[in-house]
Amino acid sequence: MVEILKIDNLTKKFKLSAKQRKINKTTDTYKVALNGLHLNAYKGEIYGLLGPNGAGKTTTLRIICTLIKKDQGTILFDGINLDDKPALIREKIGFLTSELKLDDFFTPNYLCDYFGALHHMKKEEIKERKDFLFNKFGIDKFKEVKIGNLSNGMKQKVALVVSLIHDPEIIIFDEPTNGLDVIASKIVIDYLMELKAAGKTIIISTHIFSLVEKICDRIGIIFDGQMAIEDSLANLTKNETLEELFFRLYEEKGGDLNA
Amino acid sequence: MHNIWIIAKKELKRYFTDFRMIIGLFLPGVLIFVLYNAMGSIINNVESLPEEGIIYVENEPEALKNLLDGTPFTIKRSDTKLSKEAALDKLQNEEIDLYIIYEEDFMQKVQNYQVDSGEVAPAVQIYYKSASTKSEQLYTTYLDALNNYETSLSNKFDINKDQNINYDVTVTSDIFQELIATILPFLLLVLLFSSTMGICAESIAGEKERGTISTLLVTPIKRSELAFGKILAISITALSSSVVTFLGVITSIPKLMGGYASGVELYHPVTIILVLFVIMMTVLLFTTILTILSTFAKSVKEASSLAVPLMMIVLFVGLMNFGIDAHANNFVLYLIPIYNVVQSLTSLFNNTINPINFLLCIISNLGYVILGVMLLTKMFKNERIIFNH
């Protein structure tokens, strides 16, 4: 197995404003989001990142995508340090999260051209990718309709296509089926499997156990900014289901299911 | 009543616990206080500012040589003997500020003159140029002083008595030029600011509000490239709007003035190009400052609120120009952002621009723009600002 993503001792603290301290009823100046997190992902696998709200999943993904900076730790992409070549890393990544929005004023067609150009793609390459992805996700029908006039599901599909326009090596999806109907969800899941078969690495963050059990090769469960467990799905679910494992670990880490 | 109070309490809590809203509500009042005080000080300073006036006097009586003592003016006399025509030319060209003609043996004639004799009273002619602020102020000051002296002598001489003579040497084009130099810098400043304000607020704060900026930040572009790209687009848009506005103003105001002449005829093409240059720098400066404010804001509405104090400063600086000629010798004024634009535009429209002052204005504003872009790049790298953490 070729290690494509290696994260060691990742730490991130967010400074709390006076207002946030009041809301959280704390006197601490900082909130620890990640506390020495380790993560390893291999080429050609689908990696599932699980954890309760506030555990640090989204923060981890945002740091990997260089949207925010880490405080400590190292992140290696295919042996390249993220600190040394962040722009190169961004070229290799396709990132999709519900926080990424598209400008209502433009059409899917224009936005794909725009983001393709920002990824240094040639016009012919962009056209080829657009033809393929538009056909795959049924965007052809509304490719010239402004984003503002599309339904949420359509917008989500366009965002997905925009994140994949440059044919990234690593695809990072935060809740990949969020906002999609069952048909669109199936298309996305099937496409993720195709990407995996093509040797791409996919990291997804989700709350849906069934999705993880269906598509993931390996999983990592995060509690309080630390990796509680990381292994192949097969190894982890030998004696218990994924859901049982998750809640057992949650309680072992001091979580209260009756709270 | 109880429900009304509950609703009102909730609304008041909303208004008075939002720091940015409080700034928007109360800062203008504070600024007005500060600006009006500053304006008062400046006006008082200007009024009491000793200015050098050059006068050319024919047959000046010895007793009246100190007439302007105690006024803000320091008087310098032009000693070269001039013909009337040459003196009026010099006044027209603003080489001298007043041209005064006393009758020969004026004091003797005044002494001998009997008010009820029916004879023509001794006369004084004072030529001035109302299009020049200094000349007009000096004329008023001299006239007041001479009137006081005349009153003390029981009205024994006349000043500018001949109705057929135009003692104001200002020609129509001078009036027009003065009007342009007074109004246009203010008008342009306000137009440039307002055309830039809307685009800037939408460009960054709008992207932050809609969440579209994150989509851009996960592409391989550098944040400095994003900052430069934004500024470039806003500047081009605001500049196009400004050029059209400028052309509209320069070609239409003269028509409104009675079809005397077009702005293009009145100014040398180089002057027009220099004005456009100042406009371009101003747009860049406004774009940079407003983009910084927009980046700091969480929403378009907030960005617009943050721009209000700046707009008041722009209005204030523009208004400071009214009735005051540009300072030609104070280089420091050409380094003050926004104020240096007003100074340069006024000088350009008056055709009195000093090349060093002009260069200082352009270079200093370029420096402010570069500093602003550096700050903006830093802000784009700050996740607390970009993601409103």
Percent of chain B as helix, strand, coil, to the nearest 5:
70, 5, 25
pTM score > 0.90 for this model? Answer: no
Q: What is the mean pLDDT of residues B50-71?
A: 81
At residue B211, the pLDDT reads 81
Whether the per-residue pLDDT at B153 is higher than 80: the answer is no
- B19 Cβ under 8 Å from any chain A Cβ: no
The per-residue pLDDT for range B91-145, each reduced to its tens digit, is 888 888 889 999 888 888 888 888 777 788 888 899 998 878 788 888 888 888 8
| Residue B195 vs residues A202, B183, B198, B243, B278: alpha-carbon distances, Å | 46, 18, 6, 11, 16
Kindly report the backbone phi and psi dihedral angles of residue B92, in degrees, each rounded to the nearest multiple of 5, phi listed first. Answer: -60, -40
Mean pLDDT over B182-200 rounds to 83
Q: How confident is the model at residue A186 (pLDDT cuts 50, 70, 90)?
A: confident
Average confidence score pLDDT of chain B: 80
Average pLDDT, chain A: 89
**Residue listed under structure tokens 């535009």:** B345
Q: What pLDDT shows up at residue B50?
A: 52
- The residues, ordered by sequence, that sit 6+ positions from A98 with a Cβ below 8 Å of its Cβ are A174, A175, A178, A179
CA distance A238 to chain B (A): 38
CB B379 within 8 A of CB B226: no
Using 50, 70 and 90 to split pLDDT, how confident is the model at B46?
low
* Dihedral of alpha carbons B202, B204, B208, B212, sign: positive
How many separate domains does chain A show?
A: 1
- 3-class secondary-structure state, position A171: strand
- Kindly state whether residue A113 falls inside one of the protein's structural domains: no
A99 contacts in B (CB within 8 Å)? 211, 214
Q: How many CA atoms lie within 13 A of B27 on its CB side?
A: 15
Task: Examine residue A259 and state whether it is found in any structural domain, yes or no.
Answer: no
Question: Is residue B383 within 8 angstroms of chain A, CB to CB?
Answer: yes
pLDDT by residue (tens digit) across A244-257?
Answer: 999 998 888 877 76
Between B250 and B293, whose confidence is greater?
B293
Closest CA to B331 of B320, B344, B319, B318: B344
Assign residue A50 the CATH number of its domain: 3.40.50.300
**Would you place residue B41 in the very low, low, confident or very high pLDDT band (cuts 50, 70, 90)?**
low
User: Rounded mean pLDDT of B335-358?
Assistant: 86
Q: Does B217 touch chain A (CB under 8 A)?
A: yes
Tell me whether residue A123 is in a domain: no
pLDDT at residue B262 greater than cutoff 70: no
Identify the band that residue B256 occupies on the pLDDT scale cut at 50, 70 and 90: low
Instruction: Domain of residue A77: give its range.
Output: 3-96+169-252
Q: Which of A14, A101, A118 sits opposite B219 (nearest CB)?
A: A118
Which pLDDT tens digit goes with each residue over A12-49?
998 887 877 888 788 888 888 999 999 999 999 999 99
- pLDDT at position B14 is 67
- pLDDT of amino acid B298: 86
Q: Which residue has the higher pLDDT, B270 or B133?
A: B270
**What pLDDT, on a 0 to 100 scale, did the predictor assign at position B38?**
65
Band of residue A131 on the pLDDT scale cut at 50, 70, 90: very high
Spell out the SS3 assignment of B221-287: CCHHHHHHHHHHHHHHHHHHHHHHHHHHHHHHHHHHCCCCCCHHHHCCHHHHHHHHHHHHHHHHHHH
- The answer to the question of residue A193 being in a domain is yes
| Cβ <8 Å between A67 and B216 | no
A99 touches B: beta carbon within 8 Å? yes
Chain-centre distance of CA B40, in angstroms?
16
Model pLDDT, residue B188: 84
Position B326 scores a pLDDT of 59
CA pair distance A225, A73, nearest whole angstrom? 13
**Which residues on chain A are in Cβ contact (under 8 Å) with B212?**
101-103
pLDDT of amino acid A169: 92
**B271 compared with A99, residue with greater pLDDT:** B271
Q: How far is residue A36's CA from residue A23's CA, in Å, rounded to a whole number?
A: 26
Question: In the predicted model, is pLDDT for residue A89 greater than 60?
Answer: yes
Q: Are B160 and B167 in contact (CB under 8 A)?
A: yes
Asked whether A228 and A204 are in contact (CB, 8 A), the reply is no
Average pLDDT for B162-184: 77
Is residue A221 included in any domain, yes or no?
A: yes
Q: Give tens-digit pLDDT for A144-174.
A: 999 999 988 888 889 889 999 999 999 999 8
User: Strands, DSSP E only, in chain B?
Assistant: 51-58, 73-77, 98-102, 123-127, 158-159
Is A188 a member of any domain?
A: yes
Contact status of B212 with chain A (Cβ, < 8 Å):
yes
Q: What's residue B258's pLDDT?
A: 59
CA dihedral B7→B9→B11→B16, nearest 10 degrees, is 180
Is residue A129 domain-resident? no
A159 belongs to a structural domain? no
Is residue B290 pLDDT above 60, yes or no? yes
